[in-house]
A and B are shown apart, each in its own frame.
Chain A
Amino acid sequence: MIELAAMTARSGRVALSPITQRIEPGRVVALLGTPADGVALVLAAIAGREAVRSGTIDVMGARAGAAAARRLVAYVPIDARLPDALRVDEALRVAREVRGEPPQGHADRLGALGVAPLERRAVRTLSAEEVRAVALAEAVTSTAARVILVDEPYVTMDPRAVPLVAKALRARAAAGACVVVATASPREAHDLAEDVMVFDRGRLVRRSPPWDPVLVDGPRGVLFRLIASDARALASALAQDAAVRRVETDGRVVLAQGELRLPLAEAIARAVKASGVDIELMRSEVPVLDELRAAAAGDVAGAYRAAMDRAQRAAHRPPSSPPPPRPPEPPSLPPPGESTGDAP
């Protein structure tokens, strides 16, 4: 378990407001935000690499940075390092000895992320992507590490490892580890994590599960991207449906926007049937980080724009059309400045 109690930290121009949170083992938690929002700093502070200015961080009962905590933490930052003068298998051996683990096959450990061919390579000859893949393989296969911290799991990552990252992290979480990833991608946070913390300029502004409507749809509502055999026919069919707020086409791509997920999906189904087009791809679009942060932080301008949008649509709606269903109430926001409590 990781416990942050009114923790603040600072590194360069990034400063964290007091954070009070508890991260339980057994789940993947995503810290959503850019490095400027402080997500990387939170990971570094938990790993003991950055000093805590005030408050405390306890990792599995030990203070972050203490020897007892370090052995239990596997930290993979963007600039991951391995012992430069050693080979990869020797580096894994050093890791095993430092953490006090029983012997494991090096090829098997690396194979968890598809990078077993790197076993006999000198660390000095590895690319940054390969170093990150080896470091992550060490983290997810360590039997002693009970806290796994990964900064941007898909950035600067060996292509062989990319398809296996999510599975490996989830497996470690399922085995009882605290897995915390920092990412600037709402889609990655949505796909990887069971618990998402949204950061905005050093402040934790929301903690919620990935199905939180604000995280899934953002302030602009639901957006589906479709690739159709006849985009124009599909778009004209969609435009006639009351559940569809806005339709755009770009070549064979159709973007359909609505208030709620299910009515919009049903509208698309009706439009596909009516127009007789073939659908090659249909994907729900996750909001971009800025939209999401604006919604999560209760951004006044964002809220105003959303309210104006709703008012204009209501003013132009034909009298015969039924009123659109209300969007679900978002989970409550934590108090500004300090956030407390667990995920709902």
Chain B
Amino acid sequence: MSVALVRLPIARLTRAPRAWLPVAGWCALSILMAVLERTRGTTAGADAVLLGVFGSIALPFIAFSVVTAMTGGASLIESGRGVVALGAQPQRVAAFTVGCAVATSALVCGLLAVLLVPLAGAAGNAATDTASSAWIVALGAGAYAAAFAAGATVGPRGGGRAAALVIDWMLGSGSGAGALLVPRGHVRNLLGGAPPYDIAQWKSAVALAVMIALFAAVASRRTSR
């Protein structure tokens, strides 16, 4: 049954080439910025790219595009109707869709980080920097995907995911307590930027993991029918 429930979101992603266009666009922009940093010859090009265009813009938009593709541009509730009509439990359908979105976002963004760090030029040990950047970005992308999936349960066409993007931007850009509630502040902290509310990096990592579980639970809970 579990395999059956992931067929639809995976098929939505793999059989709709248009779904990949925004993802490809953000990946291309990030790679371009990495190449520009390398040509400038700075010693911390990877930090600049990860904290700049990639971490603050491309990462959330890639996760947003993946969630939109996996829900077919509809709300999370509507996107699962086809499988629910065949006897599946709506909450399980939603949980598997969110799981697919989290895993795909984490994989795409993690692989992109693996490409970007050596390309932009790391200051220290390239292999260590690449590995640590990859898991941080993957964790952040997963948290974003879960947050957008929870947002996609709001509104007839899942317009709540756009609201989640705006809220993340508004709250997460600062360093106050509000930044603790959204992925942006924690991703920035883990990538070496200003920490939200001066918390330690390991706490941000835990917070992102908790966000994945929490937002996924909220998304599943709100899809009871």
What is the CA–CA distance of A49 and B3 in the complex, to the nearest angstrom? 23
Q: Which residues of A contact B15 (CB under 8 A)?
A: 85
The answer to whether B110 has its CB under 8 Å from any CB of chain A is: no
Question: If the complex has contacts A85-B72, A95-B87, A100-B1, are A90 and B82 also in contact, measured as CB distance less than 8 A?
Answer: no
Contact B87 A83 (CB under 8 A): no
Contacts of A24 in B (CB 8 A): none
Cα distance A98–B225 in the bound complex, in angstroms: 17
- For the complex, is A177 an interface residue (Cβ under 8 Å from B)? no
In residues 237-260 of chain A, which contact B (Cβ within 8 Å)?
none
Q: Is A73 an interface residue (CB 8 A)?
A: yes
Q: Which residue in chain B gives the minimum CB-CB distance to A122?
A: B15
What residues of chain B lie closer than 8 Å to A83, measured between beta carbons? 7-8, 11, 82-83, 86
**Selected contact of A94 from candidates B7, B92, B225, CB within 8 Å:** B7
On whether the beta carbons of A98 and B1 are closer than 8 Å, the reply is yes
Which one, B5, B8, B86, B92, contacts A85 given CB within 8 A? Answer: B8
A94/B85 in contact, CB under 8 A: no
Say whether A98 contacts B72, CB under 8 Å: no
Q: Once the chains are docked, how many angstroms separate the CA of A273 from the CA of B86? A: 57
> Is the CB–CB distance between A144 and B11 below 8 Å?
no
Known: A51-B225, A74-B87, A85-B15. A97 touches B3 (CB 8 A): yes
CB proximity of A273 to chain B, nearest CB, Å: 56
Question: Which of A64-72, A209-217, A226-234, A264-272 touches B?
Answer: A64-72
Residues of A within 8 A of B5 (CB): 98
Determine whether A99 belongs to the interface, using a CB cutoff of 8 Å to chain B: yes
Interface residues on B, range: 20 to 34
Chain A residues near B92: list those with CB within 8 A: 67
Given A82-B82, A86-B7, A98 contacting B88 (CB threshold 8 A): yes
From residue A66, how far is it (CB to closest CB) to chain B in Å?
8
With contacts A84-B72, A85-B11 known, is A99 near B82, CB below 8 A? no
Contact B225 A50 (CB under 8 A): yes
Cross-chain contact of A75 among B8, B85, B88, B224 (Cβ < 8 A)? B85
A90 to B7, CA, bound (A): 9
> B72 — which chain A residues lie within 8 A by C-beta?
84-85
Indicate whether A81 sits within 8 Å of B87 (C-beta atoms), given known contacts A49-B225, A86-B11, A94-B8: no
Contact partners of B88 in chain A: CB under 8 A: 70, 98
Which chain B residues lie closer than 8 Å to A70 at the CB level? 84, 87-89
Q: How far is the CB of B143 from the nearest CB of chain A, in Å? A: 26
Give per-residue flags for A26-57: 1 if the beta carbon is below 8 A from chain B beta carbons, else 0: 00000000000000000000001111000000
Decide: A73 and B87 in contact? CB cutoff 8 A.
yes
Q: Are B85 and A80 in contact (CB under 8 A)?
A: yes
Considering only CB atoms, which chain A residue lies closest to B224 in the complex?
A65
Nearest chain B CB to A40's CB is how many angstroms away?
15
CB distance from A245 to the nearest CB of B (A): 49
Beta-carbon contact of A94 and B81 below 8 Å: no
Q: How far is the CA of A38 from the CA of B60 in the complex (A)?
A: 44
Could you tell me the distance in whole angstroms from the C-beta of A330 to the nearest C-beta in chain B?
39
- In the assembled complex, the Cα of A48 lies from the Cα of B81 at a distance in Å of 12
CB-defined contacts of A75 to chain B, threshold 8 Å? 85
Number of A-B contacts (CB under 8 A): 73
Cβ contact of B1, chosen from A48, A90, A97, cutoff 8 A: A97
Minimum CB–CB distance for B80 against chain A, Å:
9
Asked if A95 contacts B16 (CB within 8 A), the reply is no
Q: Roughly how many angstroms separate A94 CA and B96 CA in the complex, as a whole number?
A: 14
Kindly state whether residue B38 has any CB partner on chain A within 8 Å: no
Interface flags for B69-97 (1: CB within 8 Å of A; 0: not) read: 00010000000011111111100100000
A82 touches which one: B4, B85, B224 (CB < 8 A)?
Answer: B85
A16 within 8 A of B: no
> In whole angstroms, what is the CA distance A71 to B86 when docked?
8
Q: Does A145 contact B (CB under 8 A)?
A: yes
By a CB distance below 8 angstroms, the chain A residues around B85 are: 75, 80-82, 135
Which residues of chain A (131-152) have a CB below 8 Å from chain B? 135, 138, 144-145
- Counting chain A CB atoms within 10 Å of each CB, the highest count among B3, B72, B87, B224 belongs to B87
* Interface set of B (CB-CB < 8 Å, partner A): 1, 3-5, 7-8, 11-12, 15-16, 72, 81-89, 92, 224-225
* 29 A-B pairs whose Cβ atoms sit less than 8 Å apart in the complex: A50-B225, A70-B84, A70-B88, A71-B87, A73-B87, A74-B87, A75-B85, A83-B7, A83-B8, A83-B11, A83-B83, A84-B8, A84-B72, A85-B16, A86-B11, A91-B86, A93-B4, A94-B4, A94-B8, A94-B86, A97-B1, A97-B4, A98-B4, A98-B5, A98-B83, A98-B88, A99-B86, A100-B1, A145-B87
For the A-B complex with A71-B87, A83-B7, A94-B8 known, give 12 more contacts whose Cβ atoms are closer than 8 Å: A67-B92, A75-B85, A82-B85, A82-B86, A85-B8, A85-B11, A85-B16, A91-B82, A94-B86, A97-B3, A98-B4, A99-B86
